A and B are shown apart, each in its own frame.
Chain A
């Protein structure tokens, strides 16, 4: 009884069908085509190839961010609507945690990084401890060079993942030390990891409201920030 998993947080478009202990199918693409054009056709194709009827889906797991605002909204709109129309549960899976979930290596710090523009990244830190994924630092927006410098001060090896790891490959290699760039098949998001962590969350009793589930933006819109600066709200 599989669930459908979706990740459209970055340029990677990934959809998977997975049961609690098996990945049935996954389509992961990195092309210039938009999520809007790819996502629904991929879901239809995936079900068709895996010979799973949509009525047999038991739930939808969706990567909720942080990431590209538009990408997240396409993934969430699709996931929420499928859950609503098929009357199945939806679970929102934090994007950075799903990436770390796909790399179960003890003794290292996992540092997924996604582009937050203008030299910034969304970053969270994780480690595997006795077979469980632990969050060391929740998702923040941080300047990429400072973040990498700080990670290089750690005593343990740090595996840097995500589109920003690829984008700042030179910087990672230049700093060297304990920083390791994840291998290509681990460096990008995979919907199968979203499914895996999704199952885990469901087992822990996490349920999300299909009506109210929203992306995890971390950042407010630029207009809101500017307005508050201009009107002296906050600091």
Chain B
């Protein structure tokens, strides 16, 4: 676009909704990169007493919160619905009942306001959070997506071109954190508590297993590690031995991080990319950030991660992803349905 035009040009605004799990979120993003508003109504306190997300309760909270969150997102951005160029919505993966609230709302909004609808893959959204955090970042890069539900290595070749190199065969990294935290009687969600405890412990105190650490294998497995930690805690309890919880947390976290870091660097080398980005809820883990940062520096690779608020589930990352889909006309129509086990890069476009 010409410079003179750019000055008078109105920004391209995307509004997005995210209701795939336990956060109800709406956001407005300008030109795919500038967050004008990012309203997140978290349900963590509601689910805390159950020790995990209860799908039916999550869905009930979403329908309660969704319109107020959208209204606030528009108000905070200072724009009217009619100024929006595209509406993005997470349609998978996630909890089906929770996804359906967002998808139904987005379709009705798109129809009523006559604005094109974009179905967004939640995992792609997590990766795109990095474009919001780092305005200069551009593909290609290697993305490590780690959250309560996912552990995936994705080669991001372009804004709309992804290759999934590998993912977890069983538990997600975040899931392992939550389960270990629960056994250690730490509050839900356990990730941040383990991270804090680990900082005070010795990561080499206990030798927990590192699964599938073969060369150029990009699949993960964390269920064996989780069992090993549980066995260690149980047998210590049986023998009435004193447990150093900080050492357990540090050794467990080190085992997770070692695998994540070595596979990410190997993947970057194999694909010949010089940038690694972290994404997903576990990207907020300070131990992980420190280790990836250090290893990347050693290998001469640039390393990016989003601010904590963009690591958790939020609609700004969905609005960012929607912007790039809007650029290539990748729209959904009113038949769009929730896809609870949607795979990365497998957008279904009904036209």
Contact = CB atoms under 8 A, between A and B. Distances in A.
Interface in A179-235: 210-212, 214-215, 217, 221-224, 227
Given A77-B66, A221-B57, A222-B56, A40 B100 contact: no
Interface string B76-115: 0000010000000000000011001101110111011100
A117 interface: no
A197 B293 CA distance: 63
B64 A81 contact: no
B223 interface: no
A136 to B, nearest CB: 29
B71 interface: yes
A81 to B, nearest CB: 4
B112 A81 contact: yes
Contact of A81 (B67, B97, B100, B337): B67
B57 A70 contact: no
B338 interface: yes
A40 to B, nearest CB: 4
Given A77-B63, A214-B63, A36 B337 contact: yes
Given A81-B67, A214-B64, A222-B56, A70 B97 contact: yes
Interface in A86-123: 86
B67 A80 contact: yes
Given A36-B103, A221-B60, A54 B112 contact: yes
Interface in A60-99: 69-70, 73-74, 76-82, 84-86
Contacts, number: 96
Nearest to B98: A73
Contacts of A85: 81, 108-109, 112-113
Contacts of A215: 63
- Chain B interface category by residue count: 20 to 34
B200 interface: no
Nearest to B70: A84
B121 to A, nearest CB: 17
B56 A78 contact: no
Given A70-B100, A77-B63, A210-B67, A36 B56 contact: no
- Chain A interface category by residue count: 20 to 34
B334 interface: yes
Nearest to B114: A54
B130 to A, nearest CB: 30
A40 B334 contact: yes
A231 to B, nearest CB: 9
Nearest to A40: B334
Contacts of A70: 59, 96-97, 100
A151 interface: no
B226 to A, nearest CB: 23
B236 interface: no
Contacts of A79: 108
Contacts of B112: 54, 81-82, 85-86
B63 A76 contact: yes
Given A40-B107, A78-B107, 7 more contacts: A54-B111, A70-B59, A70-B96, A80-B67, A81-B108, A85-B112, A211-B68
Interface of B: 49-50, 54, 56-57, 59-60, 62-64, 66-68, 70-71, 81, 96-97, 100-101, 103-105, 107-109, 111-113, 334-338
- Counting from the closest, the 5 A-B pairs by CB-CB distance are A85-B112, A81-B108, A77-B104, A221-B56, A40-B334
